[in-house]
Amino acid sequence: MSGPKRYNIMTSNCAESMNKVNVCAREYSVSKLVDFLRERMQQWFTERKDKAEKTSTILTKKCEKRLVALQAESTRMKVKPSCAYEFEVVDSRCKSFVVNLNSRSCTCGHFQLDQFVCVHAVAAIGIRPHLSCYTYISPYYTRDAWLATWSGIMHPIADPDSWSIPATIQNQRCKPPSCLK
């Protein structure tokens, strides 16, 4: 799939989300606000990395639940193979969908958009015992990707009184930026 990739689309933007989290810090001075944000990020990294490490499944817990639900729903579908990798899948409302496992696509559009198996792909994969749904799910949904996301470290900062600042730096004066009117 070429072009931009979208995963599990969110409806609110990042600025709105951060504003909600930082309500209590809005009145802080700039330096206190930056310190507050660093502490919050440090907390998030630690909590989320711990949660990811406790996950024992191939996918994240949310994605595993989604896959289990799709597998249950797929049992009510009729699958008609066209060849080893292409299938017609008929749902309970008698609507027909074409699944192509080689191109990881389905006429419903969800398989190729989310890069996560849709219910029709799950039904098609289900009639081939040697195939696994995990093969057709983007690595971005895996526990390993989740761990890698939070593998960074937000280092704590010691009290400024304990900092060792060279005299050449201490003696420098920082002037405000010049701006054109």
Q: What confidence tier does 21 reach under pLDDT thresholds 50, 70, 90?
A: confident
pLDDT at 11 over 60: no
Q: Is residue 79 part of a domain?
A: yes
Q: Is residue 104 part of a domain?
A: yes
Q: Under 8 Å CB-to-CB from 110, ≥6 apart: which residues?
A: 116, 118
Q: Is residue 18 part of a domain?
A: no
Q: Is residue 1 part of a domain?
A: no
Q: What confidence tier does 12 reach under pLDDT thresholds 50, 70, 90?
A: low
pLDDT of residue 4: 59
Q: What is the mean pLDDT of the chain?
A: 90
- Secondary structure of residue 57 in the 3-state scheme: coil
Cα separation, 74 vs 125, in Å, equals: 10
Q: Is residue 71 part of a domain?
A: yes
Q: Is residue 10 part of a domain?
A: no
pLDDT of residue 1: 45
Q: What is the pTM of this model?
A: 0.75
Our count of domains for the chain comes to 1
Mean pLDDT of all residues in 151-166: 89
pLDDT of residue 80: 98
pLDDT of residue 2: 54
Range of the domain at 30: 26-152
Q: Is residue 103 part of a domain?
A: yes
Q: Is residue 101 part of a domain?
A: yes
123 and 74 Cβ atoms separated by less than 8 Å: yes
Residue 52 sits at φ, ψ, to 5 deg, of: -65, -40
* Helix (H), strand (E) at residue 43: helix 30-53
Q: Where are the beta strands (DSSP E) in the chain?
A: 78-81, 86-90, 96-100, 105-106
